[in-house]
Structure 1
Amino acid sequence: MMTDADTAGAMSFLFEVGMLKRAKRTGWWIAGINNPESIADHSFRAAITGTILAAMEGVDPARVALMCVLHDTQETRIGDISRIGKRYLKAADNPSITADQIAGCPPTVVDTITSAVAEYEAATTPEAIVARDADKLECLIQAVEYQHQGITTVQSWIDNCRAALKTDSALRLADAAIGGEPLTWLSNSPKPRQD
Protein backbone atom coordinates (compact mmCIF):
# COMPACT_ATOMS: atom_id res chain seq x y z
CA MET A 1 0.00 0.00 0.00
CA MET A 2 1.30 3.43 -0.94
CA THR A 3 1.75 5.86 1.93
CA ASP A 4 1.52 9.64 1.96
CA ALA A 5 5.30 9.66 2.31
CA ASP A 6 5.61 7.55 -0.87
CA THR A 7 3.40 9.98 -2.75
CA ALA A 8 5.38 12.95 -1.44
CA GLY A 9 8.62 11.20 -2.46
CA ALA A 10 7.35 10.62 -5.98
CA MET A 11 6.23 14.25 -6.20
CA SER A 12 9.62 15.41 -4.97
CA PHE A 13 11.29 13.49 -7.81
CA LEU A 14 8.85 14.99 -10.32
CA PHE A 15 9.68 18.48 -9.08
CA GLU A 16 13.38 17.67 -9.30
CA VAL A 17 13.28 16.42 -12.89
CA GLY A 18 11.38 19.58 -13.81
CA MET A 19 14.71 21.36 -13.39
CA LEU A 20 15.86 19.61 -16.58
CA LYS A 21 13.54 21.93 -18.53
CA ARG A 22 15.66 24.88 -17.36
CA ALA A 23 19.13 23.29 -17.29
CA LYS A 24 21.07 23.81 -20.53
CA ARG A 25 23.31 21.33 -22.32
CA THR A 26 26.69 22.87 -21.54
CA GLY A 27 28.75 21.33 -24.33
CA TRP A 28 26.97 23.55 -26.82
CA TRP A 29 28.30 26.66 -25.05
CA ILE A 30 31.80 25.48 -25.98
CA ALA A 31 30.63 25.42 -29.61
CA GLY A 32 29.44 29.01 -29.27
CA ILE A 33 25.69 28.37 -28.96
CA ASN A 34 24.34 31.22 -26.83
CA ASN A 35 21.03 29.61 -25.93
CA PRO A 36 21.46 25.84 -26.26
CA GLU A 37 18.76 23.26 -25.86
CA SER A 38 17.79 22.14 -22.37
CA ILE A 39 18.53 18.70 -21.01
CA ALA A 40 14.79 17.98 -21.17
CA ASP A 41 14.70 19.05 -24.83
CA HIS A 42 17.47 16.57 -25.56
CA SER A 43 15.86 13.76 -23.56
CA PHE A 44 12.50 14.26 -25.27
CA ARG A 45 13.89 13.94 -28.78
CA ALA A 46 16.21 11.12 -27.67
CA ALA A 47 13.10 9.22 -26.56
CA ILE A 48 11.39 9.78 -29.92
CA THR A 49 14.62 8.88 -31.70
CA GLY A 50 14.89 5.76 -29.55
CA THR A 51 11.33 4.76 -30.38
CA ILE A 52 12.07 5.02 -34.09
CA LEU A 53 15.41 3.21 -33.79
CA ALA A 54 13.83 0.45 -31.70
CA ALA A 55 11.15 -0.13 -34.35
CA MET A 56 13.83 -0.20 -37.07
CA GLU A 57 16.01 -2.59 -35.06
CA GLY A 58 13.15 -4.84 -33.90
CA VAL A 59 13.51 -4.25 -30.16
CA ASP A 60 11.07 -2.99 -27.50
CA PRO A 61 10.35 0.70 -28.25
CA ALA A 62 8.71 1.37 -24.88
CA ARG A 63 11.75 0.11 -22.99
CA VAL A 64 14.12 2.13 -25.17
CA ALA A 65 12.03 5.29 -24.77
CA LEU A 66 11.97 4.84 -20.99
CA MET A 67 15.74 4.55 -20.85
CA CYS A 68 16.12 7.62 -23.08
CA VAL A 69 13.81 9.68 -20.87
CA LEU A 70 15.76 8.69 -17.74
CA HIS A 71 19.33 8.68 -19.09
CA ASP A 72 20.18 12.25 -18.03
CA THR A 73 17.88 12.74 -15.01
CA GLN A 74 20.94 12.56 -12.76
CA GLU A 75 22.07 15.91 -14.15
CA THR A 76 19.73 17.69 -11.74
CA ARG A 77 22.33 16.84 -9.08
CA ILE A 78 25.65 17.06 -10.95
CA GLY A 79 24.84 19.27 -13.94
CA ASP A 80 25.62 18.52 -17.55
CA ILE A 81 29.35 17.90 -17.46
CA SER A 82 30.76 18.53 -20.93
CA ARG A 83 33.04 16.06 -22.65
CA ILE A 84 36.09 18.18 -21.83
CA GLY A 85 34.91 18.62 -18.23
CA LYS A 86 34.81 14.85 -17.79
CA ARG A 87 38.58 14.82 -18.28
CA TYR A 88 38.94 16.74 -15.00
CA LEU A 89 35.86 15.98 -12.93
CA LYS A 90 34.81 12.72 -11.32
CA ALA A 91 31.10 12.57 -10.53
CA ALA A 92 29.19 9.89 -8.70
CA ASP A 93 27.92 7.14 -10.99
CA ASN A 94 24.42 7.48 -12.43
CA PRO A 95 22.87 4.50 -10.59
CA SER A 96 24.02 5.95 -7.24
CA ILE A 97 22.62 9.37 -8.07
CA THR A 98 19.35 7.82 -9.23
CA ALA A 99 19.09 5.85 -5.98
CA ASP A 100 19.39 9.08 -4.01
CA GLN A 101 16.87 10.86 -6.24
CA ILE A 102 14.17 8.21 -5.90
CA ALA A 103 14.82 7.00 -2.33
CA GLY A 104 11.50 8.41 -1.12
CA CYS A 105 9.42 7.01 -3.98
CA PRO A 106 7.07 4.03 -3.74
CA PRO A 107 8.89 0.68 -4.12
CA THR A 108 7.33 0.00 -7.54
CA VAL A 109 8.61 3.35 -8.80
CA VAL A 110 12.06 2.67 -7.35
CA ASP A 111 12.15 -0.75 -9.04
CA THR A 112 11.02 0.61 -12.42
CA ILE A 113 13.47 3.51 -12.53
CA THR A 114 16.39 1.62 -10.98
CA SER A 115 16.00 -1.20 -13.47
CA ALA A 116 15.89 1.12 -16.50
CA VAL A 117 18.90 3.19 -15.38
CA ALA A 118 20.94 0.07 -14.56
CA GLU A 119 20.11 -1.45 -17.94
CA TYR A 120 21.08 1.74 -19.77
CA GLU A 121 24.36 2.02 -17.86
CA ALA A 122 25.27 -1.65 -18.42
CA ALA A 123 24.69 -1.22 -22.17
CA THR A 124 24.44 -4.95 -22.79
CA THR A 125 20.83 -5.51 -23.85
CA PRO A 126 19.71 -4.73 -27.40
CA GLU A 127 17.36 -2.08 -25.95
CA ALA A 128 20.18 -0.37 -24.02
CA ILE A 129 22.41 -0.35 -27.09
CA VAL A 130 19.61 1.25 -29.10
CA ALA A 131 18.92 3.77 -26.30
CA ARG A 132 22.58 4.77 -26.23
CA ASP A 133 22.55 5.13 -30.01
CA ALA A 134 19.44 7.33 -29.68
CA ASP A 135 21.29 9.60 -27.25
CA LYS A 136 24.23 10.02 -29.64
CA LEU A 137 22.04 10.29 -32.72
CA GLU A 138 19.93 13.03 -31.12
CA CYS A 139 23.10 14.98 -30.36
CA LEU A 140 24.24 14.53 -33.95
CA ILE A 141 20.86 15.73 -35.26
CA GLN A 142 21.03 18.80 -33.00
CA ALA A 143 24.54 19.56 -34.25
CA VAL A 144 23.35 19.29 -37.86
CA GLU A 145 20.53 21.72 -37.06
CA TYR A 146 22.96 24.15 -35.46
CA GLN A 147 25.22 23.80 -38.49
CA HIS A 148 22.33 24.69 -40.80
CA GLN A 149 21.75 27.77 -38.64
CA GLY A 150 25.28 28.92 -39.45
CA ILE A 151 27.21 27.56 -36.46
CA THR A 152 30.47 26.35 -37.95
CA THR A 153 32.04 24.86 -34.82
CA VAL A 154 29.95 21.70 -34.42
CA GLN A 155 31.57 19.33 -36.92
CA SER A 156 33.48 17.49 -34.19
CA TRP A 157 30.17 16.77 -32.41
CA ILE A 158 28.81 15.30 -35.64
CA ASP A 159 31.94 13.22 -36.22
CA ASN A 160 32.22 11.97 -32.62
CA CYS A 161 28.55 11.08 -32.34
CA ARG A 162 28.53 9.21 -35.64
CA ALA A 163 31.67 7.28 -34.66
CA ALA A 164 29.98 6.16 -31.42
CA LEU A 165 26.92 4.62 -33.10
CA LYS A 166 26.56 0.84 -32.95
CA THR A 167 23.41 -0.11 -34.88
CA ASP A 168 22.95 -0.14 -38.63
CA SER A 169 19.73 1.86 -38.31
CA ALA A 170 21.41 4.61 -36.30
CA LEU A 171 24.23 4.84 -38.83
CA ARG A 172 21.74 5.10 -41.70
CA LEU A 173 19.76 7.79 -39.88
CA ALA A 174 22.97 9.66 -39.05
CA ASP A 175 23.98 9.69 -42.70
CA ALA A 176 20.49 10.89 -43.66
CA ALA A 177 20.77 13.70 -41.10
CA ILE A 178 24.25 14.70 -42.27
CA GLY A 179 23.17 14.76 -45.90
CA GLY A 180 19.74 16.18 -45.24
CA GLU A 181 18.06 19.49 -44.74
CA PRO A 182 16.39 20.04 -41.35
CA LEU A 183 13.37 21.82 -42.82
CA THR A 184 12.43 19.32 -45.54
CA TRP A 185 9.46 18.27 -43.42
CA LEU A 186 7.84 21.60 -44.30
CA SER A 187 7.52 20.63 -47.95
CA ASN A 188 5.92 17.32 -46.93
CA SER A 189 3.14 18.92 -44.90
CA PRO A 190 -0.28 19.32 -46.52
CA LYS A 191 -1.34 22.69 -47.84
CA PRO A 192 -3.95 24.54 -45.77
CA ARG A 193 -7.49 23.92 -46.89
CA GLN A 194 -9.27 26.75 -48.60
CA ASP A 195 -12.90 26.59 -47.51
Structure 2
Amino acid sequence: MRQNRENEMDTLEKQIAFIRQAERLKSVTREAWTSDGRRESTAEHSWRLALLVGLLAPSFHVDVEKALMMCLVHDLGELYIGDISAVTRPDETQKHMDEERDVRRVLSLLPDGQRDDLLALWQEYNGNATEEARLVKALDKAETILQHNQGKNPSDFDYGFNLEYGKPYFSFHPLLKELRSILDAQTAARIREVESPEDEM
Protein backbone atom coordinates (compact mmCIF):
# COMPACT_ATOMS: atom_id res chain seq x y z
CA MET A 1 0.00 0.00 0.00
CA ARG A 2 2.81 2.39 0.95
CA GLN A 3 4.64 1.56 -2.30
CA ASN A 4 1.52 2.31 -4.34
CA ARG A 5 1.14 5.66 -2.60
CA GLU A 6 4.77 6.53 -3.31
CA ASN A 7 4.33 5.56 -6.96
CA GLU A 8 1.23 7.74 -7.25
CA MET A 9 3.07 10.70 -5.73
CA ASP A 10 6.02 10.18 -8.07
CA THR A 11 3.67 10.08 -11.06
CA LEU A 12 1.87 13.23 -9.93
CA GLU A 13 5.12 15.12 -9.40
CA LYS A 14 6.25 14.21 -12.92
CA GLN A 15 2.92 15.31 -14.39
CA ILE A 16 3.13 18.64 -12.56
CA ALA A 17 6.70 19.14 -13.81
CA PHE A 18 5.46 18.59 -17.37
CA ILE A 19 2.55 21.01 -16.93
CA ARG A 20 4.89 23.65 -15.50
CA GLN A 21 7.15 23.30 -18.53
CA ALA A 22 4.21 23.39 -20.96
CA GLU A 23 3.28 26.80 -19.52
CA ARG A 24 5.92 28.25 -21.81
CA LEU A 25 3.51 27.84 -24.74
CA LYS A 26 1.51 30.73 -23.28
CA SER A 27 4.44 33.00 -24.19
CA VAL A 28 5.24 31.59 -27.64
CA THR A 29 3.76 34.02 -30.17
CA ARG A 30 2.51 33.22 -33.66
CA GLU A 31 2.20 35.16 -36.91
CA ALA A 32 -1.42 35.86 -36.03
CA TRP A 33 -3.11 38.69 -34.16
CA THR A 34 -6.17 38.75 -31.95
CA SER A 35 -9.18 40.97 -32.61
CA ASP A 36 -7.69 43.59 -30.28
CA GLY A 37 -4.34 43.63 -32.11
CA ARG A 38 -2.28 41.50 -29.73
CA ARG A 39 0.00 38.72 -30.98
CA GLU A 40 -1.66 35.35 -30.46
CA SER A 41 0.11 32.66 -28.44
CA THR A 42 0.50 29.03 -29.44
CA ALA A 43 -1.45 28.04 -26.32
CA GLU A 44 -4.39 30.21 -27.40
CA HIS A 45 -4.35 28.67 -30.86
CA SER A 46 -4.30 25.14 -29.41
CA TRP A 47 -7.20 25.97 -27.09
CA ARG A 48 -9.43 27.28 -29.88
CA LEU A 49 -8.46 24.39 -32.13
CA ALA A 50 -9.61 22.00 -29.38
CA LEU A 51 -12.87 23.93 -29.09
CA LEU A 52 -13.39 23.72 -32.86
CA VAL A 53 -12.63 19.99 -32.92
CA GLY A 54 -14.95 19.40 -29.96
CA LEU A 55 -17.79 21.06 -31.86
CA LEU A 56 -17.26 19.38 -35.23
CA ALA A 57 -15.89 15.94 -34.30
CA PRO A 58 -19.35 14.39 -33.69
CA SER A 59 -19.97 14.75 -37.44
CA PHE A 60 -16.97 12.52 -38.17
CA HIS A 61 -16.18 8.88 -37.38
CA VAL A 62 -13.42 9.69 -34.90
CA ASP A 63 -12.44 9.07 -31.30
CA VAL A 64 -13.31 12.51 -29.89
CA GLU A 65 -11.19 12.18 -26.74
CA LYS A 66 -8.19 11.18 -28.83
CA ALA A 67 -8.74 14.04 -31.27
CA LEU A 68 -8.98 16.57 -28.43
CA MET A 69 -5.76 15.34 -26.83
CA MET A 70 -4.12 15.53 -30.25
CA CYS A 71 -5.08 19.21 -30.40
CA LEU A 72 -3.44 19.85 -27.05
CA VAL A 73 -0.10 18.24 -27.96
CA HIS A 74 0.15 19.04 -31.68
CA ASP A 75 2.25 22.19 -31.17
CA LEU A 76 4.39 21.05 -28.23
CA GLY A 77 7.32 21.16 -30.64
CA GLU A 78 7.17 24.97 -30.51
CA LEU A 79 7.92 25.00 -26.79
CA TYR A 80 11.63 25.79 -27.14
CA ILE A 81 12.17 26.91 -30.75
CA GLY A 82 8.98 28.94 -31.08
CA ASP A 83 6.51 29.13 -33.94
CA ILE A 84 8.01 28.95 -37.42
CA SER A 85 5.46 30.56 -39.70
CA ALA A 86 4.38 28.77 -42.87
CA VAL A 87 4.61 32.16 -44.57
CA THR A 88 8.41 31.90 -44.41
CA ARG A 89 8.27 28.52 -46.21
CA PRO A 90 10.73 26.75 -43.91
CA ASP A 91 12.60 23.54 -44.65
CA GLU A 92 9.82 21.17 -43.55
CA THR A 93 12.14 18.20 -42.96
CA GLN A 94 14.43 20.17 -40.66
CA LYS A 95 11.47 21.82 -38.95
CA HIS A 96 9.93 18.43 -38.20
CA MET A 97 13.22 17.07 -36.85
CA ASP A 98 13.68 20.09 -34.58
CA GLU A 99 10.12 19.87 -33.31
CA GLU A 100 10.31 16.13 -32.63
CA ARG A 101 13.52 16.66 -30.67
CA ASP A 102 11.79 19.24 -28.50
CA VAL A 103 8.63 17.16 -28.10
CA ARG A 104 10.75 14.28 -26.84
CA ARG A 105 12.54 16.68 -24.50
CA VAL A 106 9.40 17.97 -22.78
CA LEU A 107 7.66 14.58 -22.75
CA SER A 108 10.68 13.09 -20.97
CA LEU A 109 9.35 14.76 -17.83
CA LEU A 110 6.32 12.44 -17.80
CA PRO A 111 6.04 8.85 -16.55
CA ASP A 112 7.10 6.36 -19.22
CA GLY A 113 3.61 5.24 -20.22
CA GLN A 114 2.21 8.73 -20.73
CA ARG A 115 5.41 9.88 -22.41
CA ASP A 116 5.17 7.08 -24.98
CA ASP A 117 1.44 7.58 -25.54
CA LEU A 118 1.71 11.32 -26.14
CA LEU A 119 4.74 10.96 -28.39
CA ALA A 120 2.83 8.39 -30.46
CA LEU A 121 -0.13 10.78 -30.63
CA TRP A 122 2.09 13.66 -31.79
CA GLN A 123 3.66 11.40 -34.42
CA GLU A 124 0.21 10.22 -35.53
CA TYR A 125 -0.87 13.83 -36.04
CA ASN A 126 2.17 14.55 -38.16
CA GLY A 127 1.74 11.33 -40.14
CA ASN A 128 -1.75 12.51 -41.13
CA ALA A 129 -2.91 8.94 -41.87
CA THR A 130 -5.71 8.35 -39.34
CA GLU A 131 -9.17 9.93 -39.33
CA GLU A 132 -8.35 11.82 -36.13
CA ALA A 133 -5.11 13.19 -37.54
CA ARG A 134 -6.72 14.25 -40.80
CA LEU A 135 -9.52 16.04 -38.99
CA VAL A 136 -7.23 17.82 -36.53
CA LYS A 137 -4.79 18.76 -39.30
CA ALA A 138 -7.58 20.31 -41.38
CA LEU A 139 -9.08 22.19 -38.46
CA ASP A 140 -5.62 23.38 -37.39
CA LYS A 141 -5.45 25.16 -40.75
CA ALA A 142 -9.05 26.33 -40.37
CA GLU A 143 -8.43 27.90 -36.97
CA THR A 144 -5.40 29.74 -38.33
CA ILE A 145 -7.38 31.13 -41.26
CA LEU A 146 -10.23 32.12 -38.94
CA GLN A 147 -7.78 34.04 -36.76
CA HIS A 148 -6.16 35.72 -39.75
CA ASN A 149 -9.58 36.91 -40.92
CA GLN A 150 -10.73 37.92 -37.45
CA GLY A 151 -7.56 39.56 -36.21
CA LYS A 152 -6.60 43.21 -36.09
CA ASN A 153 -3.54 42.67 -38.28
CA PRO A 154 -0.60 44.82 -39.42
CA SER A 155 -1.27 46.99 -42.48
CA ASP A 156 0.93 44.80 -44.70
CA PHE A 157 -0.74 41.51 -43.69
CA ASP A 158 -1.06 39.11 -46.65
CA TYR A 159 -4.64 37.85 -46.60
CA GLY A 160 -4.11 36.22 -49.99
CA PHE A 161 -1.96 33.62 -48.23
CA ASN A 162 -5.15 32.21 -46.68
CA LEU A 163 -6.65 31.29 -50.03
CA GLU A 164 -4.15 28.49 -50.66
CA TYR A 165 -3.02 27.70 -47.12
CA GLY A 166 -3.68 24.07 -46.24
CA LYS A 167 -6.28 23.62 -48.99
CA PRO A 168 -5.58 19.89 -49.70
CA TYR A 169 -6.37 18.98 -46.08
CA PHE A 170 -10.03 19.92 -46.56
CA SER A 171 -10.74 17.55 -49.44
CA PHE A 172 -11.56 14.30 -47.62
CA HIS A 173 -14.99 15.16 -46.19
CA PRO A 174 -17.99 17.17 -47.50
CA LEU A 175 -18.30 19.16 -44.27
CA LEU A 176 -14.65 20.21 -44.49
CA LYS A 177 -15.14 21.25 -48.11
CA GLU A 178 -18.08 23.40 -47.02
CA LEU A 179 -16.02 24.86 -44.18
CA ARG A 180 -13.27 25.72 -46.63
CA SER A 181 -15.75 27.50 -48.91
CA ILE A 182 -16.94 29.61 -45.98
CA LEU A 183 -13.37 30.45 -44.94
CA ASP A 184 -12.39 31.40 -48.49
CA ALA A 185 -15.44 33.64 -48.78
CA GLN A 186 -14.49 35.34 -45.52
CA THR A 187 -10.93 35.80 -46.75
CA ALA A 188 -12.14 37.30 -50.03
CA ALA A 189 -14.37 39.70 -48.10
CA ARG A 190 -11.45 40.72 -45.89
CA ILE A 191 -9.27 41.33 -48.96
CA ARG A 192 -11.96 43.56 -50.48
CA GLU A 193 -12.27 45.41 -47.19
CA VAL A 194 -8.53 46.08 -47.04
CA GLU A 195 -8.18 47.02 -50.71
CA SER A 196 -11.23 49.29 -50.76
CA PRO A 197 -11.44 51.02 -47.38
CA GLU A 198 -14.37 53.31 -46.81
CA ASP A 199 -13.66 56.87 -47.80
CA GLU A 200 -13.01 59.11 -44.86
CA MET A 201 -15.68 61.75 -44.44
Q: Which residue of 1 aligns with 2:94?
A: 90
Question: Is 1:77 matched with 2:83?
Answer: no
Could you tell me how far 1:72 is from its partner in structure 2? Answer: 0.4
Q: Deviations over 1:80-108 (max 9, x none)?
A: 01121624993434443222212131223
Could you tell me how far 1:150 is from its partner in structure 2? Answer: 8.1
Looking at structure 2, the residues matched to 163 and 143 of structure 1 have their Cα atoms a distance apart, in angstroms, of 19
Decide which structure has greater helix share: 2
Q: Given the superposition, is the C-alpha separation of residues 129 and 163 from structure 1 closer, same or farther in structure 2, using an over 3 Å criterion?
A: closer
Looking at structure 1, the residues matched to 93 and 29 of structure 2 have their Cα atoms a distance apart, in angstroms, of 18
Q: Which residue of 1 aligns with 2:131?
A: 126
Could you tell me how far 1:34 is from its partner in structure 2? Answer: 5.6
Q: Given the superposition, is the C-alpha separation of residues 146 and 172 from structure 1 closer, same or farther in structure 2, using an over 3 Å criterion?
A: same
Looking at structure 2, the residues matched to 135 and 157 of structure 1 have their Cα atoms a distance apart, in angstroms, of 13
Question: Is 1:42 matched with 2:45?
Answer: yes
Could you tell me how far 1:73 is from its partner in structure 2? Answer: 1.3
Counterpart among 138, 150, 165 of residue 170 in structure 2: 165
More deviation in 140-149 or 55-64?
A: 140-149
Q: Deviations over 1:136-168 (max 9, x none)?
A: 111111122137998853231343133543333
Could you tell me how far 1:28 is from its partner in structure 2? Answer: 3.2
Question: Rg: which structure is higher?
Answer: 2
Question: Is 1:175 matched with 2:181?
Answer: yes
Looking at structure 2, the residues matched to 48 and 151 of structure 1 have their Cα atoms a distance apart, in angstroms, of 29
Looking at structure 1, the residues matched to 153 and 83 of structure 2 have their Cα atoms a distance apart, in angstroms, of 24
Looking at structure 2, the residues matched to 50 and 17 of structure 1 have their Cα atoms a distance apart, in angstroms, of 21
More deviation in 87-96 or 33-42?
A: 87-96
Looking at structure 2, the residues matched to 55 and 6 of structure 1 have their Cα atoms a distance apart, in angstroms, of 33
More deviation in 108-117 or 149-158?
A: 149-158
Counterpart among 7, 17, 21 of residue 16 in structure 1: 21
Contact 2:32–2:147 at 8 Å: present in 1 too?
no
**Consecutive unaligned residues in structure 1, runs of 5 or more:** 182-195
Counterpart among 41, 61, 64 of residue 61 in structure 1: 64
**Aligned residue pairs, count:** 177
Q: Deviations over 1:63-85 (max 9, x none)?
A: 11111111001211111011216
Looking at structure 2, the residues matched to 52 and 15 of structure 1 have their Cα atoms a distance apart, in angstroms, of 28
Question: Is 1:116 matched with 2:117?
Answer: no
Identity across the alignment (%): 22
Equivalent position amino acid for 1:174 in 2: R
Question: TM-score, length-normalised on structure 2?
Answer: 0.73
Contact 2:14–2:109 at 8 Å: present in 1 too?
yes
**Consecutive unaligned residues in structure 2, runs of 5 or more:** 188-201
The alignment yields a C-alpha RMSD, in angstroms, of 3.0
Q: Given the superposition, is the C-alpha separation of residues 130 and 46 from structure 1 closer, same or farther in structure 2, using an over 3 Å criterion?
A: same
- Find the residue that maps to 1:105 and give its secondary structure: coil
Q: Which residue of 2 aligns with 1:145?
A: 150
Question: TM-score, length-normalised on structure 1?
Answer: 0.75
